[in-house]
Amino acid sequence: MAVNALPLSAVVAVIGAGAMGAGIAQVAAVAGHPVRLLDNRPGAAQQAIEGIRAQLGKLADKGKMTAEAARAAGERLQAAENLAQLADAGLVVEAIVENLEVKRALFRDLEAVVGGHCIFGTNTSSISVTAIGAGLQNAGRLAGLHFFNPAPLMALVEVVSGLATDAAVAETLFATAAAWGKTPVHAKSTPGFIVNRVARPFYAEGLRLLHEGAADCATIDAVVREAGGFRMGPFELMDMIGHDVNFAVTRSVWNAFFNDQRFLPSLIQQELVDAGFLGRKTGRGFYSYA
């Protein structure tokens, strides 16, 4: 099926201006779309836009893009204050908290605001796309559009089809991700999709080793890097992802497999979440970033 990418004139709305939403907004703006960024924390979207502009400026300084392209991409970004300001979007990418009910409620509210042609992409790491779409009048318009952290650098994008996703919607998202310079793959909505499914043992075995007192985080990370050839060990990577996000993904995969012990969440990570030691974003996780 030959399906075209979203035209560059189409407005891309990104909801959630955290680590992922900001990265996705940057990718869409650099590709040439007008982008609107919305967050329910006052000032967060504007702050993220300023961060993206600074990031684009650094890329221009390093010669990775022209100063003119960086400036133009920065100008295509606009903060939105409410859903009504996303009414003309051709694509909405959701990158809010990893919680089914909150995502469902957002898409339901969104459906009342946008036009019938608008496509919905969720950046969920692990929640069933089928379940997120189930509350919609037109569940066919929603698919997973799963970027990896940091979105501007990581090429892979999983285009995830739920049971009700229209094939044409998945193909449009696939073509759009490719047009944005990414390497998309199609996946069905199974728990964790592809990457977060195969990555579960990477974190879980590292956490079990730590729990058993086999070695400390730095040693385990170093071994995985040196001997395994990975760019990061499990503890460095969890700190980068954020323990709130990573723990939510683990719980969601565990629940989805009816509490299969293979996916059992770790009490060590639960403690970090309870303490608010969420990794790099709070300055402390397994490591300290002060």
126 is catalytic: no
Q: Does 250 contact ligand NAD by CB under 6 A?
A: no
**Count of residues touching ligand NAD (by CB under 6 A):** 26
From 146, 246, 252, 266, the catalytic residue: 146
CA distance 103 to 93: 11
211 is catalytic: no
Number of H helices, E strands in the chain: 12, 8
Distances (CA, A) of 218 to 91, 129, 210, 232, 290: 42, 36, 10, 11, 17
- Minimum CB–partner distance for residue 12 and ligand NAD (Å): 16
- Minimum CB–partner distance for residue 61 and ligand NAD (Å): 26
- Minimum CB–partner distance for residue 23 and ligand NAD (Å): 8
Binder to ligand NAD among 6, 28, 49, 106 (CB under 6 A)? 106
Residues of this chain, 109-138, that bind ligand NAD according to CB under 6 A: 123-125
The reply to whether omega before 150 is within 30° of 0 (cis) is yes
CA distance 27 to 182: 9
Strand order in the sheet with 77-79: 77-79, 35-38, 11-15, 89-94, 119-122, 142-147, 156-161, 183-188
Cβ contacts of 96 within 8 Å, gap of 6 or more: 15, 16, 21, 40, 102, 103, 106
Strand, helix or coil for residue 120: strand
Q: Which residue is nearest to ligand NAD (CB)?
A: 18
Q: Does 15 contact ligand NAD by CB under 6 A?
A: yes
- Minimum CB–partner distance for residue 262 and ligand NAD (Å): 20
Q: Does 44 contact ligand NAD by CB under 6 A?
A: yes
Q: Say what the alpha-carbon torsion angle 161, 124, 37, 19 is, to the nearest 10 degrees.
A: -140
β strands within 74-166, DSSP E: 77-79, 89-94, 119-122, 142-147, 156-161
Rounded to the nearest angstrom, the gap between the alpha carbon of residue 260 and the centroid of all alpha carbons in its chain is 25
Binder to ligand NAD among 21, 34, 133, 162 (CB under 6 A)? 21
Strand, helix or coil for residue 112: coil
Binder to ligand NAD among 84, 97, 155, 267 (CB under 6 A)? 97
- Which stretch, 95-103, 160-168, 181-189, 220-228, contacts ligand NAD (CB under 6 A)? 95-103
Q: Does 40 contact ligand NAD by CB under 6 A?
A: yes
Task: Show the site string, 140-179: x = touches ligand NAD by CB under 6 A, - = not.
Answer: -------xxx------------------------------
Summarize as ranges the residues that interact with ligand NAD (CB under 6 A). 15-21, 39-41, 44, 95-98, 102, 106, 123-125, 147-149, 241-242, 245
What residues act catalytically? 125, 146, 158, 196
